[in-house]
Amino acid sequence: MRSWAEIDLAALERNLDLIRRAVPPKMKYVSVVKADAYGHGILPTATRLMQSGVDLLAVANVKEAAEIREMGSGWPILVLGPLLEGEDSALLEYDLTATLSSPAEIPRFQEKAKCKGQKVKVHLKVDTGMGRLGIWWEDAQALIQEIEKVDEIELRGLLTHFADPSDLDFTSLQRERFKKIYDSIPASLKADLMVHADNSSSLLHLERDSIFNAIRIGLLQFGVSPKKESLFSDLPVEPVLSFHSKLAVVKELPAQTTISYGRQHQLTRKSKIGIVSAGYGDAIPLHCGNRAQALVRGQSYPIIGRVTMDQTVVDLTDAPDDLLSGEKVTLIGKQEDQEILLSKLADDANTIPWELLCSITKRVPRVYTTNRE
Ligand SMILES: Cc1ncc(COP(=O)(O)O)c(C=O)c1O
């Protein structure tokens, strides 16, 4: 293989276990697996997560949900994003739970439910300050009253999403707004409601005795901590994904030669360079050129010049003489006692771990391992 991503499903399971043990036992676990399980591959990942006992899988849209449904008929699936009108029938066809955000969705879902003689399950999303999806919190109570009147719609959950968990005051305000809505719900409706907001970034400030009875986790379960200062960075989650490639060419170039498009690096000495067989067409972000490192035989070497679609150049001048083409190169992950964290590569590329994971392209085979300890 030229370039590949190794996905350690056993590490995923251990992470899940660690996170569950760090939060109060009443907390249900909503596992966010949208965008192909953050690039880890939806089917093997969702299968392992369900086998490991998550309570609900959350995806972005109906297409992602249908893919999971083909694998497991009993697995509960929440569609986090809004459904387009033509997609409503998929809710019953694939036994999905919708995220309802607006009065307009009520008659749409009601009609589909009536046709099939079934109920549509929904979680109501409240916009408490994210300014994206959800009914604006001041209008949420009226919407709940509307839902209550409709037999064909079953309210199973209530959720909100935090805009900036690092801003404690604003997050508290969002929690307060949400609690007001929760308090307005009749006790009969509240009984089995899943109430959730906290994601990987807000877990640090999880309220232990509160109305929330579920967490909604994406990044952290994949072993990537969203923030260095997070409490959960103390949680020894393990990276689930590593990314590797091979040296296609090793060659010498004279001093003063410039490297790659735009000539953004110039060799200061006679140098040995390695051409890694991967670029931004695989997973290596364009903007990490001249900033990030690559590991070869457990040593770190700088990436020089601009990353290109299919190749990336590393400076191997200080590498041993017998280091030749064909050698394994690690861009994310461990070699011997050296490790490049995905969050470090994201920093070097001036992006965020979520985006980096989503940029690992189809060209990169995912290789699953299940028992690394
Ligand atoms: C609505 C919603 N909830 C939860 C998550 C999971 O967030 P994280 O990956 O930070 O845990 C996301 C991620 O984008 C999301 O959009």
Select the more confidently predicted residue: 120 or 225. Answer: 120
CA 78–ligand 1 middle distance (angstroms): 13
95 close to 138: Cβ distance less than 8 angstroms:
no
Q: What is the DSSP letter of 184?
A: T
Contacts of 113 (CB under 8 A, 6+ apart): 92, 119, 120, 152, 153
Catalytic-role residue among 34, 112, 125, 272: 34
Domain 241-369 is in which class? mainly beta
- Pick the closest to residue 31 from 215, 192, 290 (CA basis): 215
For residue range 172-205, list pLDDT tens digits in order.
999 999 999 999 999 988 989 999 999 999 887 8
How far is it, in rounded angstroms, from Cα 56 to Cα 289? Answer: 39
Show me where the domains of the chain are located: 9-230, 241-369
Q: Do domains 9-230 and 241-369 have the same CATH topology?
A: no
pTM for the whole thing? 0.96
Which atom from ligand 1 is nearest to the alpha carbon of 161?
1
Q: Is 328 a catalytic residue?
A: no
Say which CATH topology domain 9-230 has. Answer: TIM Barrel (3.20.20)
* pLDDT for the residue 371: 62
* pLDDT for the residue 229: 52
Buried b (16+ CB within 10 A) or exposed e, 288-327: bbbbbbbbbbebebbbbbbbbebbbbbbbbebeeebeeeb
82 close to 57: Cβ distance less than 8 angstroms:
no
Both structure tokens of 45: 């990942």
Q: Is 261 a catalytic residue?
A: yes
CB-defined site of ligand 1, < 6 Å: 32, 80, 161, 199-201, 216-220, 226
Mean pLDDT along residues 285-310: 98
How far is it, in rounded angstroms, from Cα 92 to Cα 230? Answer: 40
Which atom from ligand 1 is nearest to the alpha carbon of 30?
4
Catalytic-role residue among 26, 114, 251, 261: 261
Strand partners, 330: 244, 295
Helix (H) or strand (E) holding 154: strand 153-159
Does the pLDDT at position 48 exceed 90? yes
